[in-house]
A and B are shown apart, each in its own frame.
Chain A
């Protein structure tokens, strides 16, 4: 029997095969992929470069959003076209309460024969009109929210005053007809502009995450192969568990980082003094983007892991990852520039759909089934590629005499 000198409970030597290791620690052993994933994550987050680059990016995003807000939060001078002096009084009341609450907006009323037309031809920024049982605030392509709030308040007060003078009674009766509805003359154009701006951000994020996490994943697989530690690992756990753990670690870190960036951006946006329309659409699409990002990233991770397994030296990585980079750049451009049928078609192509489907959702309301079908296609592709990657990994890991391509790797025998 061996001499046990350490106090910790070690399993005894010569355990018969098939017995689980026993010790004081009776907690169920973790599955290998989870051990691999946690190890990879702990290595990555302890890297100074990772921590610093993440923090810097968060600061740039927050700084950018707030800076943009501050720049565009100079006092907004808005002219409001109205039909009568009454209207001018309402605008003045709104302006006064705006001054009282220190709002960054300056409203001035002008009487016009056709207020909406004066907005359309650019003479004024807004038109305040009473139509039927309510009021309308017409703007060209976006409704300034502060002005809308101030004017709603003023319209309500004016209506109540007018009616109480006429001897009205109930409050509900008093405020009747005081609702101010915003109207846009060119609403779709604005939404498209916002969609392309946010789509550009999504596309860049996806591209950067793929580059920032894909190559290190391939390198880490190659290093395990090159340092031959993979032989010890292969003798200990199934290699597909190793691959799954590594892909899971990259995906968790990438999704965490993107969620952090999106969260920081949205948080900064909520503190930003500037008005940005469609915040609701952006928030809900950001959630979908995260889901599509996850699916697209899984596919890329499987490809990058296979590239790492097939490579022989670090130089092989750059050449074998060229096709992936090409697809990534394609998705970048599709996300930024595709329109019409091309955009619709591309939103069903895995990897590219990670960018184009969220862009479509920003631009217009996409039927839910289309979103789900596109997501299912991505997840199916990810599953198949992870399986294929596992096979390539297992076959090429002991192949140490040069780089392989997909064909030669899959032709190898166990």
Chain B
């Protein structure tokens, strides 16, 4: 598990990251969301040691990170970054060597990843001759080629079409199934679909953190109910807050979940109950709620 404890960074008087603490469990995809300027990139840079933390520290399995430990992480920075005018395999081999692989290991690992991305026949091509999507794949290969002990990915999926995102996620789940992965994204629906754990940042502070399931469960308990002919009667029920009603359909919030049975019985008694569902909030909704 990768843990962040009290990371803090100010630029002048401006507090950008304010004593941020959260965990990135191993074997899970941890989504890192927040509006622009919430401090995601600064936090990730501090985890990677690219930016010095003014307070706080990052730990892997309880051990504070040093350069040696970080050099085995995989990192995709916010603004990407590879050599546009160098052949792909060349630069991947170089980066692999810097990460501690031998030249041979680095080239073998890079070739394998390129093959997986159907890019092996372009291995000698310059990076900037590739499409943006393929450049992004090479970027991900650069983060994975040394079999990292943790992954810090700043907006790794931007610029990828949905199919490419899926194949990338498959790759991450396959190759990195037991290491901590932190990825930030603006695409909340994507985060919703991919992450097992969520950290929500706002104004440099963590406003929500937890396993995705727990966060969903921990929110308001909402139900969608359809009772023919009309759902208006729900307004009078004690312990029920009607959020929306449209003819036979209504969205309600139960103050006490155990009241669900009573509501169902009432509906059956009054007419016909055609639908009664628990509605879990999407992570986007949790995000909006948390950052409201």
Asked if B60 and A17 make an inter-chain contact with CB atoms under 8 angstroms apart, the answer reads: yes
Asked if B178 and A229 make an inter-chain contact with CB atoms under 8 angstroms apart, the answer reads: no
Q: Using Cβ atoms and an 8 Å threshold, which residues of chain A touch B94? A: 35, 39
User: Is B282 on the interface with A (CB-CB < 8 A)?
Assistant: no
Given contacts A30-B97, A231-B81, 12 further A-B contacts (CB under 8 A): A15-B149, A17-B66, A21-B72, A21-B146, A23-B101, A23-B102, A43-B90, A227-B82, A228-B77, A229-B83, A236-B98, A398-B50
Near A by CB (< 8 A), chain B positions 53-105 give 60-61, 63, 65-73, 75, 77-84, 86, 90, 94-95, 97-102, 104-105
Near B by CB (< 8 A), chain A positions 7-40 give 7-18, 20-21, 23, 25, 27, 29-30, 32, 35-36, 39
Proximity string of chain A (183-208) to chain B, C-beta cutoff 8 Å, 1 when within and 0 when not: 00000000000000000000000000
Asked if B108 and A6 make an inter-chain contact with CB atoms under 8 angstroms apart, the answer reads: yes
Task: Report the minimum CB–CB distance from B106 to chain A (whole Å).
Answer: 10
| A18-B69 contact in complex given A8-B109, A13-B147, A231-B81, C-beta closer than 8 Å | yes
User: Is A1 on the interface with B (CB-CB < 8 A)?
Assistant: yes
Asked if A1 and B98 make an inter-chain contact with CB atoms under 8 angstroms apart, the answer reads: no
The 4 closest A-B CB pairs, nearest first, are: A228-B81, A8-B108, A17-B69, A229-B81
Task: Report the minimum CB–CB distance from A216 to chain B (whole Å).
Answer: 13
Asked if B26 and A236 make an inter-chain contact with CB atoms under 8 angstroms apart, the answer reads: no
Looking at B31-39, B169-177, B211-219, B269-277, the stretch in contact with chain A turns out to be B169-177
Q: How large is the interface on B (under 10, 10 to 19, 20 to 34, 35 or more residues)?
A: 35 or more
Asked if B175 and A9 make an inter-chain contact with CB atoms under 8 angstroms apart, the answer reads: no
Asked if A23 and B105 make an inter-chain contact with CB atoms under 8 angstroms apart, the answer reads: yes
Q: Which residue of A lies closest to B109 (CB)?
A: A10
Proximity string of chain A (220-256) to chain B, C-beta cutoff 8 Å, 1 when within and 0 when not: 0001100111111111111000000000000000000
Q: Which residue of B lies closest to A231 (CB)?
A: B77
Asked if A236 and B99 make an inter-chain contact with CB atoms under 8 angstroms apart, the answer reads: yes
Task: Report the minimum CB–CB distance from A82 to chain B (whole Å).
Answer: 71
A400 to B105, CA, bound (A): 34
Which of B's residues lie within 8 Å of A, judged by CB?
26, 45, 48-52, 60-61, 63, 65-73, 75, 77-84, 86, 90, 94-95, 97-102, 104-105, 108-109, 112, 142, 146-147, 149, 174-179
A375 to B175, CA, bound (A): 54
Q: How large is the interface on A (under 10, 10 to 19, 20 to 34, 35 or more residues)?
A: 35 or more
Q: Using Cβ atoms and an 8 Å threshold, which residues of chain B touch A133? A: none
| A27-B102 contact in complex given A227-B84, A235-B73, C-beta closer than 8 Å | yes
Q: Using Cβ atoms and an 8 Å threshold, which residues of chain A touch B178? A: 1-2, 13-14
User: Is A131 on the interface with B (CB-CB < 8 A)?
Assistant: no
Q: Using Cβ atoms and an 8 Å threshold, which residues of chain B touch A227? A: 80-84
Q: List 20 A-B contacts (CB under 8 A).
A: A8-B105, A8-B108, A9-B105, A11-B146, A13-B176, A14-B26, A17-B66, A17-B149, A23-B102, A23-B105, A39-B97, A43-B86, A229-B81, A232-B77, A232-B82, A232-B95, A235-B49, A235-B70, A237-B98, A413-B52
Asked if B177 and A2 make an inter-chain contact with CB atoms under 8 angstroms apart, the answer reads: yes
Asked if A21 and B95 make an inter-chain contact with CB atoms under 8 angstroms apart, the answer reads: no
A337 to B101, CA, bound (A): 53
A233 to B26, CA, bound (A): 24
A237 to B52, CA, bound (A): 15
A229 to B142, CA, bound (A): 11
User: Is A121 on the interface with B (CB-CB < 8 A)?
Assistant: no
User: Is A169 on the interface with B (CB-CB < 8 A)?
Assistant: no
Q: Using Cβ atoms and an 8 Å threshold, which residues of chain B touch A234? A: 49-50
Asked if A235 and B105 make an inter-chain contact with CB atoms under 8 angstroms apart, the answer reads: no
A224 to B80, CA, bound (A): 11
User: Is A319 on the interface with B (CB-CB < 8 A)?
Assistant: no
Asked if A18 and B102 make an inter-chain contact with CB atoms under 8 angstroms apart, the answer reads: no
Asked if B77 and A236 make an inter-chain contact with CB atoms under 8 angstroms apart, the answer reads: no
Q: Using Cβ atoms and an 8 Å threshold, which residues of chain A touch B149? A: 13-15, 17
Q: Using Cβ atoms and an 8 Å threshold, which residues of chain A touch B109? A: 6, 8, 10
Q: Using Cβ atoms and an 8 Å threshold, which residues of chain A touch B75? A: 231-232, 235-236
User: Is A365 on the interface with B (CB-CB < 8 A)?
Assistant: no
A14 to B100, CA, bound (A): 15
Task: Report the minimum CB–CB distance from B129 to chain A (whole Å).
Answer: 15
A232 to B49, CA, bound (A): 10
Q: Which residue of A lies closest to B178 (CB)?
A: A14
